[in-house]
Amino acid sequence: MYYVDPHIHMVSRITDDYVRMARAGCVAVSEPAFWAGFDRGSGAAFRDYFRQLCEHEPKRAAQFGIHHMCWLCINAKEADNVSLSREVISIIPEFLAQPGVLGIGEIGLNKNTRNEVTIFEEQVELAMKTDELILVHTPHLQDKYKGTRMILDILQGDTRIKPERILIDHVEEHTIKLALDAGFWVGMTLYPLTKCTPERAVDMVERFGAARLMVNSAGDWGPSNPMNTPNFMRTMRDRGHDAMAVQEVVYENPIRFFAQSRKFNFEPPIPVRDPAKTHRTAKASGTHSTD
């Protein structure tokens, strides 16, 4: 079965990870701009990072038959430095026309500071001016609910925002409904220690249905496992969901969301169905989760 990992930081992964992912059915990835394992000291460092994301990493991925797309931004972790952030924001438009650049992301909040909010709003402004999709990082810390609420309030207070063009990532049980009810896409990040396990993610698919929902491994510089999207697929099958239901979450949904970008340049190896005709996995399983 084919899958897409819609949020994975391949610059932090070794080549063997591409090999394992390809063998497990990965045909495409999207890589949001993020922290690179250390705080960078200049705009020039970000220009090089954006070149790595837009030019180098797609070639590395292609050697293993994986199509690589990306997102550009200054991430929330480094956004507390307002002057550096503004320098980076001024560089982003140089890269926005490149093929496979899906939009602005992953922007959001980390510690919910005033500076992070300022830079989040300035990057939303850039996305509105340039008509880009947005990928949003919600905090991992104990302030996840508060940070998610702050982000949704900012987005919903902007009349230009079209929720179907925004992905709210790293949702968990206490934040998924806020984002889905407001019409956004959501991503569940399958980390080994924090965020969400494959089992909890399947619970949420069963509770909320598969529409506008995707999963990712976020493989990055912290404890993470690039094989967690295939692990989720196995867990979903073990819980009695059929292959088409799994395919909707791990293949069709990311492609449906990304295809809204005018720079989307992936040719899916099998067609993506009309969303109106797909299964609704909330009712597909006999092993329904508990609330």
Binding residues for Zn ion, rule: CB under 5 A, are 34, 218
Task: From residue 155, give the alpha-carbon distance in Å to each of 13, 163, 182.
Answer: 32, 8, 10
- Name the minimum Å distance from CB 224 to Zn ion: 9
Based on CB atoms, which residue is closest to Zn ion, 168 or 245?
A: 168
Which amino acid, residue 45? A
Contacts of 74 (CB under 8 A, 6+ apart): 33, 46, 84, 85, 88, 89, 107, 119, 123
d(CA 264, CA 180): 24
- Name the minimum Å distance from CB 11 to Zn ion: 11
Based on CB atoms, which residue is closest to Zn ion, 18 or 34?
A: 34
- Name the minimum Å distance from CB 75 to Zn ion: 8
d(CA 79, CA 75): 6
d(CA 195, CA 102): 25
- Name the minimum Å distance from CB 285 to Zn ion: 29
Based on CB atoms, which residue is closest to Zn ion, 30 or 281?
A: 30
Based on CB atoms, which residue is closest to Zn ion, 4 or 218?
A: 218
* Helix spans in 111-225 (H): 114-130, 144-156, 176-181, 198-208
Based on CB atoms, which residue is closest to Zn ion, 134 or 218?
A: 218
How many helices and strands (H and E) does the chain possess? 11, 8
- Name the minimum Å distance from CB 133 to Zn ion: 15
